[in-house]
Chain A
Amino acid sequence: MSTNSHDHAALAADFNKDEPRVDWHDQTLWWIRQKRDKAAHTVPDWEALRNTASRIKENVLSNLSEYLQSFEAAAIANGVTVHWAADAAEHNAIVLSILRKHQVDRMVKSKSMLTEECHLNEFLHEQGIEVIDTDLGERVVQLAGEPPSHIVLPCIHKKKEEIGEIFHEHLGTPAGNADPQFLTHAARLHLREKFLTRRAALTGVNFAIAETGEFVVCTNEGNADMGAHLADVHIACMGIEKLIPQRRHLGVFLRLLTRSATGQPITTYSSHFKKPRTGQEMHIVLVDNGRSVHLGRPDFRNSLKCIRCAACFNTCPVYRRSGGHSYHTAVAGPIGSILSPNLDMKKYADLPFASTLCGSCSNVCPVKIDIHEQLYKWRQVIVQEGYAAVGKKVAMKGMNWVLSHPSVYHTAGKAGRWLMGKVPFTVNNGLNAWYRQRDMPAPPKESFGEWYKKNKKS
């Protein structure tokens, strides 16, 4: 039972009040999961590819400091300014200082979950700087005043009719027009003007190559390129785990990334950025924000292998039926549930429990993160650190006591079944979360143990 009104269970219960909408959300994401399956099955050595990617990332995590230094040296040699940010506040301050230096108060930004994690938009807004998200889905949720609900498909929780309304309100499209092609065209016109007039562009980073100091940004809309190519200042923000050793390793990751994400063979744009063009300034901000702490947790460090494909979101039967906002964190879904407790164990203590531990997430993960096993392990850590509800602690201790004493167990079982049979109201009531929408099993007249004693043990 939920312990407060803002935890995953409560937010998911809220999402489930509109069942047809849950069905629509589930089916939309299941369709993407099916596209992923189809794409994966076209690659005969898919499992070997996953294994290779996982091992490359293992190598990166084991040699992170060397790779970071090599990346920094190469990037500086390429004419890029490199910044180091220990946490979200430092990251935000660095971005602000670059903008201030150029006296820029309006910026375009392509998708970067890191900046969501650091709440950069809110921070810059408070400093009087306007940020326009240029990924179409992100722009939709930005106009709606909401955070993304999915890291690859930020507005997947919105129906096209709702997007039509948002565009009508903010971009002046005709009321009632929900034609996707029309709305996309309207967004294109709206964003084109931003690209042409903004002097600073911020992008995320999908892969950073330690050997060459270059980085690769993957988009389907070309919005990162439009922003970066037209701006005087390009700021690329990345978590320190985004490194890969060499350019040749990209072949492994680019084959996996979009097949896992959307079922496409490759992103429409996989753009390499190496050095600023003449007259342009290029900055890279390397952000830790808890990652080195995470790296020091042996049971959880390999979640830093994540390449943010969101395959675990799309396959997760809980995510599909609870929506991204129920995770109340920048990176939702199963991977968010194992990354977030590292950032704030108390705030995200509910997330590792928002799973049936079905294991589908670990099976689709292109870098073979043992997601469901880490969910189990986080549960243990969270309870040991004292973040379990008191009622739950008492219940678990009671249950454990009964199950540790065979005679108590036999007596309690018999009494319980008698009560269920004779006085069904004692269990069939509103306080029993099982009974609200499900019937209890009919209590049999004897347990298996009792039957065995009578019929076999002679």
Chain B
Amino acid sequence: MRVALFIPCYVDQFYPQVGIATLELLEKLGCTVFYPPNQTCCGQPMANSGFEHLTKDCNRLFTENFLGYDYIVGPSGSCVLHIKEHLHLDKLEGYAAASAAAEVRSRVYELTEFLTDILKVETLEASFPHKVGLHQSCHGQRGLKLSQMTEVVGPAFSKPVKLLKMVKGIELIDLARQDECCGFGGTFCVAEEAVSVKMGKDRVADHLHHGAEFITGADMSCLMHMEGILHRQKSGVQVRHIAEILNSRL
């Protein structure tokens, strides 16, 4: 199985360990992993700010980099959702380009959905003997439907929780608000700084109140935001991307 690794730009620059954990985890599970070196960004920061019309170059670059693999896997629900919903190349660029973009859209997966739905992982050789709070990132949860949502009347399920429960020694804590947004929101985090920070502080407080030693999630952007708040508060609680926990050694 030829898997192309999609490492979002801010993960590439600030959290290389998350990329490494994702790569090692996929290799451990038998995938042949390739990292297209010319990848940059999915274009979401521009698009969510109302500048989707500027993202043609990003879309072209992404399509060129990721065409021709069985699967494209990224450790970020938000970036993957953006590709699934908005990676379009105009018919003006030719029929081949438009269909190549469609091909890429259909093959891109967020890490935990890939592990659950495609690799059908039932056991993991991982250990993380700590109290961990799971942050449900909105784009992964409500966008990619990684977990059931508290607003919806329907059966419970959670792909990240199912995977985390395979990790030896882990204790998942309960939260007062299971799936409230952390307030990162892309450029929202600076454009609406006051509300963004308040939302982040409240989310962090819920985890701290319930005794979390680590906060994890499938989206590093939310974790980066909460890490910034934890660090400012001089808290000892740390953030870990879910790939790092699933890849932790026995």
Contacts and interface: CB of A to CB of B under 8 A. Distances in A.
B16 interface: yes
Given A12-B192, A404-B58, A440 B228 contact: yes
Best-buried of A321, A384, A393 by chain B (most CB within 10 Å): A321
Interface in B28-70: 35, 37-41, 43, 45-55, 57-58, 61
A269 interface: no
Interface string B203-218: 0000000000000000
A186 interface: no
Contacts of B181: 317, 356, 358, 360
Interface residues of B, number: 73
A102 interface: no
B15 A404 contact: no
B150 to A, nearest CB: 6
Contacts of B231: 438-439
A451 interface: yes
Interface string B151-162: 111100000000
Q: Which of A9, A322, A358 has the most chain B CB within a 10 Å cutoff?
A: A358
A457 interface: yes
Contact of A363 (B47, B139, B142): B142
Interface of A is mostly: helix
A2 B191 CA distance: 6
Interface of B: 7, 9, 11-20, 23, 35, 37-41, 43, 45-55, 57-58, 61, 138-139, 142-143, 149-154, 177, 179-181, 183-186, 188-200, 202, 224-225, 227-229, 231-232
Interface of A: 1-2, 8-9, 12-13, 15-16, 19, 22-23, 26, 30, 37, 40-41, 43-44, 46-47, 315, 317-318, 321-322, 352-360, 362-364, 376, 379-380, 382-384, 388, 392-393, 396-397, 399-400, 402-406, 409, 413, 416-417, 433-434, 436-441, 443-444, 446-453, 456-457
26 contacts: A1-B193, A9-B194, A23-B202, A317-B183, A356-B196, A358-B138, A358-B181, A359-B143, A360-B181, A363-B152, A379-B48, A380-B52, A383-B51, A396-B49, A400-B54, A400-B57, A403-B43, A404-B61, A406-B38, A406-B40, A436-B197, A438-B225, A439-B228, A439-B232, A452-B23, A456-B35
